[in-house]
Structure 1
């Protein structure tokens, strides 16, 4: 987001204009989708020896959409992490690092490619991201039999995760590389000197997902907020603001001071905090 705003700011500074952030432009889409290969599944199985990697499909019946994903099944537990990736992050992208990091905690892991990304056809919008995430929750509880279900959202996925927490009885919420809301995100990302020179107009859809409001007004359950001290996409001030807004009596904030947006789990404090959070659920 900050890179987008910075580019817009420089352009507008030169010409003076009103700039729009459109939902259709912001949410990344693949040019084509492709099914998971046997090589990919076998490689992920090799890298997660305590889990059995199983492709899964969730039918969105009223729209003839099939969400494709993976269930990393640890046969010693039914406690589950539902992982909601960031913008443009497919299941295969997540398998490079995120799923490997999460697999060390010995929980089941469920992840789906959203519409128009990875192995799932269609076109994503904020509305159907939220709809599909709620269906993913119901599928994980009902079809996969999760006894405890933690929702972990990364970056844009954290906004979707918060909406699941708002609507479903989840057992814990993890927000990684997250922000408060679109208004504060844009305000934090824009250089001060550009604010008097041009106006940023944001699609109304972005205002329907407000992490700060969810944590203030609705979700009071266990919460772990993870931030990167050098994260340029979700500035650390927003991470602190998100944590402060939470009314939960069981909340924890952990900051990887040296981390950017994509490498927070390289920090030992983050890994330890994650383990502690899960062990208390």
Structure 2
């Protein structure tokens, strides 16, 4: 969902010839290959962590991942980034989001993205998320610690898929949406009046139909933190608010954070998120009993 200018351009073109513009999978899942991370640079920049590189086998693909481990960790965060996310480019920024919390964190390049192999598709990325989660649960160095899944934008659907099919200790959904159908209506609403008159409907097609996190949150039984940037125009805060309201958990087990003066890409890179994460860990995510 990071490619909003491109989508707006496509919508403008569609406006000249059709009444309904169908958002396709290849408008959302746009794989970009990139080198592996510079471990020496990351280790020099982040001395508090032991940083380890690994690859995770997932249905014919090798998913590139980095583990950031610290001695005082009380939990581990598994992070799924958005459409433009690669570990090599964004690892240091992700580390800032977690720097004030005593957590390990694991970053993974999506299939076909960054240094991961394989061919990207929405269903493959969703399936891979479960495989990666299972590997983290089996990791002996992470055993006994609560495992929290954090997904941003495209990665929020991966986090939601894991939450729907696995037992989590906590869930963070950042810059997510209720459904692609709702998001299509939002994209149409952002166009000029003449374009809205020509394009009566923006609708998902193919693998995108029916996808979204509203059904996921309606069945949640683990603590959840919803995050959005105040100035996010791609997935505005009203989506996070709707997901929060749809979650049948009591206050204290669900939290909503709208970060002032932040947009679609940088809500977690903020003091407000770091404070919210610390509170989420302290109040919602209880460590599992030993043994």
- Fold agreement, TM-score > 0.5: yes
* Residue 107, structure 1, aligned to residue 108, structure 2: no
Kindly tell me the number of residue pairs found equivalent between the two proteins.
274
- Partner SS for 2:16: helix
What residue number does 1:11 align with? 13
Question: Where do 1:33-182 residues align within 5 Å?
Answer: 33-36=34-37, 40-60=38-58, 63-77=59-73, 79-144=75-140, 145-146=142-143, 147-182=145-180
247-256 vs 203-212, which moves further:
203-212
Separation in 2 of the partners of 1:265 and 1:17?
37
Alpha-carbon offset, residue 15 of structure 1: 3.7
* Residue 269, structure 1, aligned to residue 272, structure 2: yes
Q: Deviations over 1:89-128 (max 9, x none)?
A: 1111221412232233121111111111111111111111
Contact 1:82 / 1:149 at 8 angstroms: preserved in 2?
A: yes
Separation in 2 of the partners of 1:105 and 1:78?
9
Contact 1:19 / 1:200 at 8 angstroms: preserved in 2?
A: yes
> TM-score under structure 2 normalisation?
0.87
Alpha-carbon offset, residue 28 of structure 1: 1.4
What residue number does 2:288 align with? none
Q: CA RMSD in A?
A: 2.0
Aligned CA distance change for structure 1 residues 64 and 11 (closer, same or farther; 3 Å): closer
What residue number does 1:244 align with? 245
Contact 1:3 / 1:233 at 8 angstroms: preserved in 2?
A: no
- Partner SS for 1:97: helix
Aligned CA distance change for structure 1 residues 119 and 279 (closer, same or farther; 3 Å): same
Q: Which consecutive aligned stretches of 4+ in structure 1 deviate over 6 angstroms post-superposition?
A: none
Separation in 2 of the partners of 1:124 and 1:13?
29
Separation in 2 of the partners of 1:237 and 1:219?
19
Q: Which runs of 5+ in 2 are unaligned?
A: 286-291
66-75 vs 257-266, which moves further:
257-266
**Aligned partner of 2:28 among 14, 26, 29:** 26
Alpha-carbon offset, residue 58 of structure 1: 1.0
186-195 vs 108-117, which moves further:
186-195
Aligned CA distance change for structure 1 residues 270 and 77 (closer, same or farther; 3 Å): closer
Separation in 2 of the partners of 1:267 and 1:88?
19
Q: Which runs of 5+ in 1 are unaligned?
A: none
What residue number does 1:260 align with? 263
What residue number does 1:203 align with? 205
Aligned CA distance change for structure 1 residues 262 and 25 (closer, same or farther; 3 Å): closer
> TM-score under structure 1 normalisation?
0.90
Contact 2:96 / 2:269 at 8 angstroms: preserved in 1?
A: no
